Structure 1
Amino acid sequence: MPWVSPVLYAAVLAAGLYAGLAGLGDTHLPVFIAGLAALFALEFVRRELLALLARTALFVVVALADGSGLSRALFVLVPFTAYFAFGRTVAIVLAVACVAGVAVAFQVAAPGWPADVARVSDLLMFALGLALAIAMASAAVEERRGRARIAELSAAAERQRLARDIHDDLGHHLTAVIVLLEQAEAFRERDPAAAQRALAEATGSARRALEDVRRSVRTWHFHLGSALRELCTGAVVLRLSGDESRYGEPALRALFHAAQEGITNARRHAGAGAVEVDAELGEDRALLTVTDDGPGFDGGREGFGLRGMRERVRAAGGQVVVRSAGGRGTRLEVVVPR
């Protein structure tokens, strides 16, 4: 909190100048102004212990040269600054020492000061100021720790999001490329035309993968319809209805990545001959289904892709249902509310 010290210095300077010009108290303006100038200069010193010792000595000098009495408030900066550099315990010890120092000064100046209501009130207010300064420093430190923790959590969430994006986007396209290249290899001798078509589709999938990477770098504005049309190629049938403008980007991206994961799993694991994607963007909810005619799988065995998809859909407020039975294909249902 770099603004606290300069603000307090300015207030003390204004009060001391007024006292000196008005002839109030015993003010030595040259020493008083020089001491405050040195305090301002100390704000640029980064060695904590040296700065704290020098600052405390200058507080004493300024307080002795100030006839207004406001300079005692400078001592609240001793535990305040010490808290940031050395911790709570040192700050509390220094606060107690400051209160004891003011009490000793009162005793030297006026031995009967405990019977003086004004001096007792000044001491109590000074102690209260020290307590508030420590509380303010503690709050600032906790806020700084909180911001650091939030930054760590944000970085972790971003890493997880990038991991999902890499798996969903590049994983989908690379799987398609591998499957198509395998088809081209299998049909190279028996059906050169089919092999050539598979190579052409593989090239297209590789180009789409590169475009996805470029779009991610540019943080492109997401359109579900165009993204699904680019995704659903070859034997994948797409049916799309409704208005996507009523949905936010997190929901649309969750639906797209769910479709991507469903198609990837159908190609990679199910060996499905037909895959259908239905997206209904209704007024109250969006329903996406991905169905295939593959052999199905055990619903208890879900990989990273399905788990990541569930997390993404859950973050958008939706839910995922996977229905699969031996020999009856797989049906993936994703519902996201508006």
Structure 2
Amino acid sequence: MSRPVPWIPAVLYGAVLLGGVYYAVIGPGPGARTAAFAALLSALAALDLCEPRQWRGRRIPAGAVFVLRVLLLCAVAAVDESGLSRVLFVLVPFLAFFAYGSTVAIGLGVGCVAALAGAFTLWVPHWQVRAEYISDLLMFALGVVLALTMAAVAVREQQARTRLEGTLAQVAELSAARERNRLAREIHDSLGHHLTAIGIQLEKAEAFASLDPQGSAQAVSHARWSANRALDEVRASVRTLGPESESEPAGLARALADLVHHLDGGSRRITLDMSGAERRPLLVLYRAAQEGLTNACRHSGATEIRVDVAYDGRGARLQVIDNGSGFDSVDEGFGLTGLRERVRLAGGTMAIDSSAGGTVLTVGVPW
């Protein structure tokens, strides 16, 4: 595990070096031991700056680097005349926490405290009744506890950051997938509908070319209208690529009237009935009408289709009713699946009642 707080050892090395040099200046004076003290501390700092897994072109196990660091700490303590270097041993459990985990770190922390107490016992007679040594031991033990606590906090913070980065990556992926699905719905509901309408009108024009030239010309005109409308909606989507509200029709009543007008005719009769006061255009209802009319005209063989829109104080409701052959609910295609998702995102409801006598598509959207 990498150390999330690599600056702590460097700060301790610098503080101990300044304290040891200051002690030598005001005390016995700088000498060979002071030079060795400074050199060993510099070696420790250099060890931390080096890559822990790479040394002289060979891979070195993390455990070997850790042992080398402990040996250097012992050497620093051996040449230190001020006794300040023993504070550096709090780094042993601190660094072990990142390398080996909390259990080993706590064991090394207890061992360091016991080692200091053993050193006092061997070299300081009656230290148990001398306040300065008892204070040193207690302060060292407190330093070990604080070092372990800091290591635990740093590890948890690093883990939380890793989880957050993973979550953000998932959010970005889901957002991209949601945007792709939205664009796919737009292409199907807008461009797909108009292409279907163009196909229907051109088939009508071809069928009535010799029998009803005027009706054939009208069908071609309607196909041209659908093509222009498709181009306008593609341009709007490319221009905005924004929320659905930005591309809502200027008025639902007018948009539905145009839609019905350019699909009506031939062997098919489409009627539109709207009741209540329109508060604002609702793109989801327009897309629902497109999907219902496209399915009724292309797949059901319906001769009578009715589009009903009702507004009240709670919201708006649209129904597309046809007398076609109906379909099995398990045969729902991408269009109806996408419409369900669109209605769900708008907080509305959608129901389909289909049988051999016809189909009723109902979509309700709250204000």
Could you say whether these structures have the same fold, taking a TM-score greater than 0.5 normalized by the shorter chain as the test? Answer: yes
Identify the residue that residue 213 of structure 2 maps to in structure 1.
none
Q: CA deviation at 1:129?
A: 0.9
Bigger drift between 58-67 and 70-79 goes to: 58-67
SS where residue 235 of structure 1 aligns? Answer: helix
Q: Where does 1:1-338 land on structure 2 (aligned, <5 Å)? A: 1-23=5-27, 28-45=33-50, 46-47=52-53, 48-189=62-203, 190=205, 191-212=219-240, 215=241, 226-228=246-248, 235-236=255-256, 261-269=284-292, 291-295=317-321, 306=340, 320-322=347-349, 327=360, 329-334=362-367
Aligned-residue identity in percent? 29
Q: CA deviation at 1:79?
A: 1.0
* Contact kept in structure 2, 1:84 and 1:137, CA below 8 Å: yes
Q: For 1:50-75, what per-residue CA distance to the aligned partner results, in whole angstroms no more than 9, with x for missing partners? A: 33222211111222222222211111
Q: CA RMSD in A?
A: 3.8
Letter matched to residue 235 of structure 1:
A
Bigger drift between 138-147 and 107-116 goes to: 107-116
Q: CA deviation at 1:309?
A: 6.7
Q: Distance in 2 between matches of 1:305 and 1:145?
A: 41
Letter matched to residue 109 of structure 1:
W
Distance 1:277 1:78, change over 3 A: farther
* Contact kept in structure 2, 1:176 and 1:205, CA below 8 Å: yes
Distance 1:166 1:328, change over 3 A: closer
Distance 1:201 1:227, change over 3 A: closer
Q: Distance in 1 between matches of 2:172 and 2:108?
A: 43
Distance 1:227 1:182, change over 3 A: closer
* Contact kept in structure 2, 1:236 and 1:275, CA below 8 Å: no
Q: CA deviation at 1:204?
A: 3.1
* Contact kept in structure 2, 1:263 and 1:275, CA below 8 Å: no
Name stretches of at least 5 consecutive residues in structure 1 with no aligned partner: 217-221, 242-255, 279-286, 314-319
Letter matched to residue 365 of structure 2:
L
Q: CA deviation at 1:154?
A: 2.2
Letter matched to residue 36 of structure 1:
L
Q: For 1:270-318, what per-residue CA distance to the aligned partner results, in whole angstroms no more than 9, with x for missing partners? A: 659769899xxxxxxxx9956434249xxxx9957656775x67xxxxx
Name stretches of at least 5 consecutive residues in structure 2 with no aligned partner: 54-61, 206-218, 258-277, 295-304, 323-331, 354-359
Normalised TM-score (structure 1): 0.72
Q: Distance in 2 between matches of 1:30 and 1:84?
A: 31
* Contact kept in structure 1, 2:249 and 2:255, CA below 8 Å: no
Bigger drift between 39-48 and 23-32 goes to: 23-32
Q: CA deviation at 1:165?
A: 2.2
Q: Number of matched residues?
A: 291
Bigger drift between 160-169 and 23-32 goes to: 23-32
Distance 1:111 1:277, change over 3 A: farther
Bigger drift between 107-116 and 36-45 goes to: 107-116
